[in-house]
Chains A and B, each alone.
Chain A
Amino acid sequence: MVDIVSFDKVSKSYDGRAYVVRDLDLSIAQGEFLTLLGPSGSGKTTTLMMLAGFEVPTSGEIYLDGKPLSRRPPHERDIGMVFQNYALFPHLSVAENLAFPLEVRHRPRAEIRQRVEAALEMVRLPQVGARKPAQLSGGQQQRVALARALVFEPRLVLMDEPLGALDKQLRDHMQYEIRALHDRLGVTVVYVTHDQSEALTMSNRIAVFAGGRVRQLAAPDVLYETPSDLFVATFVGESNVFAGTVAARDDTVARVALADGTAMAATAMDAGAAGAAAAVVVRPEKLLLGPLAETCENRFTGQVADVVYHGDHLRVRLAAFGRDDIIGRMPTGGPALPAIGASLAFGFDRAAARAYDPAHGAG
């Protein structure tokens, strides 16, 4: 894979005191869909704005196709951008919005017309060209914004939380549509979101941002299955976190004792040596319940605190180890619904549990 963009030790500070982005090294491969994921204030949007040219790095350099970008103004970067609130031009019709990037590039009129039509076709809105943006629904406006960012065939498209203003159903639908467009056009996409499920659905790779740094850069499955620290583990996907102390550890296995004396074995990640604090993380779907727990390496018993029916699965909340927020999942259609207050066995394998250093948990 060829890198189209690379960040080289890029830092950004707005006030000269605190870093918003710190020592960022990041390479974006030609044709990939890279998502910058993180909570607000983690530096992901600033990173995108530096790439677009609306912010200037305080130090470091960004390269596009191997050439430094710092001195190139936004309009000479040839990067398409989709904004959070679409940023369509309200005084121009949809067709005029799409023609704008081609007009400022002085393309011939016939070519502009033909490409605008093709772009509207591409986002499946062939009949709205004459309308003003305000006459379109939110989802339609979003598609027009997408078409406008793609119509001049930039090699790189930036999207800043483009689906944030849409309702859930439309958002899910647009996720697939954007992904399909990406697959079809082969354009490189850098996508910013704080929604981890959106990131997992759409991306080739995800860069998890926290505190101005990239905590982990990996494919969605790798990120979900083997988060590299406690922050990533808790930010991406749902997790049970058991806080305790390392009783013993070798290269691969850490034995962790909880405050109430319960011991559990987990895959050692960045957890410290014996005596150090540790957090064991288990995904709810890896926490097995009832008879399924019998074969697990770590086996416990708890009381059912709550059962919520989710259609395809049951979400069971358990009380154990002096707390009542342990979440497990159970397929529906099983023998019987667990009764609230009843005892229920639960457990997980060592491979499904990871022990982390809790110091790396905060954003």
Chain B
Amino acid sequence: MGGAELSAAASGAGAGGAVVPPAGPGRNLVRDHARAERRRRLQAIGLVAPLFLFLLFSFVGPIADMLRRSVYDMDLAGVWPRTAAAMHAWDGNGLPPDSAFAALGADIRASAEAGRVAVAAQRLNYPISGGRSLVMNMARRVEADDFKPPADWRAAFLDADPAWGSAETWSAIRRASGPVTDYFLLNALDLHKDAAGHISRAPDGIFLSILWRTFSISGVVTLFALLLGYPLAYVMTHSSGRVAAVLTLFVLLPFWTSLLVRTAAWIVLLQDQGIINKALMAIGLIDHPVRLMFNRVGVVIAMVHVLLPFMVLPLAAVMRGIRPETVRAARSLGAHPWTAFRRIYVPQTMPGVGAGVLLVFISAIGYYITPALVGGADDQMLSYFIAFYTNETVNWGLAAALAVVLLAATAVLAAIYARVVASRGGLVT
């Protein structure tokens, strides 16, 4: 719309310039018009600039940094610059030349003295099992007071540990020598690259199953939110003022409470000695507590509750815009009430269903606190692992790569949604 107006204005100006003779008032008009347009544009930029800058620093910047971290890998190269250079010079076939062993030996010694060898050891521990001890053992050797730099570093390494003679080890060092790596992204998708550069499924990968778990929990939560939210939104929009106001209040209430408090409230309700179990036992439906917490049931219940407003509000907004006469018209034209609802009412709510489903699903796949508090070990979603790798193991490359996977999934969903809405010609209000 704005674009069309702008281009229309631009072509209008062009036509005016062509018609008006290039003398006297004509030239003035063109100049004045251009000046007025410029003023208008500057004003618009001035009004938008603060928000733009805020978003740049608080949103675009961090995301860009995260994307960078998922492929940028300077842990090893930062500590072992000579090794990194030698690795870049090496073609990667078999074992590297002696000079590479010498460079690594010198680097390990220098970094051990500087107290930074653990960073590189940690980095090598990701691709090589036992990589950390391999490096730390060597570091202890070269750090020893009586250690003299040998003439043959290769022999010295092999003497310390035969693993230094393995092509796998050196291939891992080479791929970790930066500055760019696909290791974290492949790892986030349960893939790994062998010494020959072939990509294959990692046998012990867990992230695909976690991704699947994240999607399936989000899908179930979205489905329940829709099943509960659709009738609620319907009653909210089609009942009298008072009932509608009370229902709206109940839907909005969760918005005014902190997520942590709401989740904690569910813990009180769902635990073995909680209100729900006690009530069920009191009326004799069960004779011992049903496990409602630290499993999938609790996670789904709590997440549906927390996310329900995101389903109900867009649905109610769309339903409010539907003319009730259309359903009446359908009935007068011979449609059974159920047919009128299914063929006339429901299709008109689809923009709201789309918006609600997408909002809930996208919020759900990024959920962290609720599954962490109410769920068990098998109910943790992708965000939990992002937090785990960020805070616990400080493997920021992998955390960033998992975040990229999450971001990509969200972007794909948003694109699908935009296409669905556009093809319906509808708009979300």
- The answer to whether A and B assemble together is yes
Tell me if A's interface is mostly helix, strand, loop or mixed.
loop
Q: Interface residues of B, CB < 8 Å — how many?
A: 23
In the complex the two chains form, what is the Cα distance from A73 to B308 in whole Å?
A: 36
B375-429 residues with Cβ-Cβ distance < 8 A to A are: 424-426
| 1/0 contact string of B311-329 vs chain A (CB within 8 Å) | 0000000000001011011
CB-based A-B contact count at 8 angstroms:
73
Give the segment of B133-141, B236-244, B336-344, B360-368 that binds chain A: B336-344
| B334 and A152 contact, CB distance less than 8 A | yes
Residues A105 and B334 in contact in the complex (CB < 8 Å), given A89-B344, A90-B348, A91-B347: yes
| A85 and B336 contact, CB distance less than 8 A | no
| A87 and B336 contact, CB distance less than 8 A | no
> Is A132 interfacial (CB 8 A cutoff)?
yes
In the complex the two chains form, what is the Cα distance from A52 to B323 in whole Å?
A: 18
Among residues of A, the one whose C-beta sits closest to the C-beta of B333 is A101
Chain B neighbourhood of A85, CB < 8 A: 323, 325
| B334 and A87 contact, CB distance less than 8 A | no
| A74 and B331 contact, CB distance less than 8 A | yes
Nearest-neighbour CB distance to chain B for A139, whole angstroms, equals 19
| A132 and B425 contact, CB distance less than 8 A | yes
| A152 and B325 contact, CB distance less than 8 A | no
Nearest-neighbour CB distance to chain B for A76, whole angstroms, equals 8
> Is B228 interfacial (CB 8 A cutoff)?
no
Chain A neighbourhood of B332, CB < 8 A: 52-54, 74-75, 77, 79-81, 158
| B334 and A78 contact, CB distance less than 8 A | yes
Among residues of B, the one whose C-beta sits closest to the C-beta of A90 is B348
Chain A neighbourhood of B335, CB < 8 A: 75, 100-101, 104
| A90 and B336 contact, CB distance less than 8 A | no
| 1/0 contact string of A159-191 vs chain B (CB within 8 Å) | 000000000000000000000000000000000
Contact of B325 among A73, A77, A83 (CB under 8 A): A83
Among residues of B, the one whose C-beta sits closest to the C-beta of A79 is B332
| A75 and B326 contact, CB distance less than 8 A | no
| B339 and A87 contact, CB distance less than 8 A | no
Chain A neighbourhood of B337, CB < 8 A: 73, 75
Chain A neighbourhood of B328, CB < 8 A: 54, 74, 81, 83, 87
| A75 and B348 contact, CB distance less than 8 A | no
> Is B118 interfacial (CB 8 A cutoff)?
no
Among residues of A, the one whose C-beta sits closest to the C-beta of B324 is A87
| B336 and A91 contact, CB distance less than 8 A | no
Contact of B326 among A53, A90, A152 (CB under 8 A): A90
| A104 and B348 contact, CB distance less than 8 A | no
| B326 and A89 contact, CB distance less than 8 A | yes
| A104 and B326 contact, CB distance less than 8 A | no
In the complex the two chains form, what is the Cα distance from A74 to B340 in whole Å?
A: 12
In the complex the two chains form, what is the Cα distance from A75 to B339 in whole Å?
A: 10
Chain A neighbourhood of B348, CB < 8 A: 89-91
Nearest-neighbour CB distance to chain A for B355, whole angstroms, equals 16
In the complex the two chains form, what is the Cα distance from A53 to B344 in whole Å?
A: 19
Interface centre among B323, B330, B333, B426 (most CB of A within 10 A): B333
In the complex the two chains form, what is the Cα distance from A148 to B333 in whole Å?
A: 8
Residues A91 and B424 in contact in the complex (CB < 8 Å), given A83-B328, A85-B325: yes
In the complex the two chains form, what is the Cα distance from A101 to B332 in whole Å?
A: 9
A residues apposed to B, CB below 8 Å: 52-54, 73-75, 77-81, 83-85, 87-91, 100-101, 104-105, 132, 148-149, 152, 158
8 A-B contacts, Cβ less than 8 Å apart?
A: A73-B331, A74-B332, A75-B333, A80-B333, A81-B332, A87-B326, A104-B334, A104-B336
Report the 5 A-B pairs with minimum CB-CB distance, sorted nearest first: A87-B325, A101-B333, A87-B329, A81-B332, A74-B331
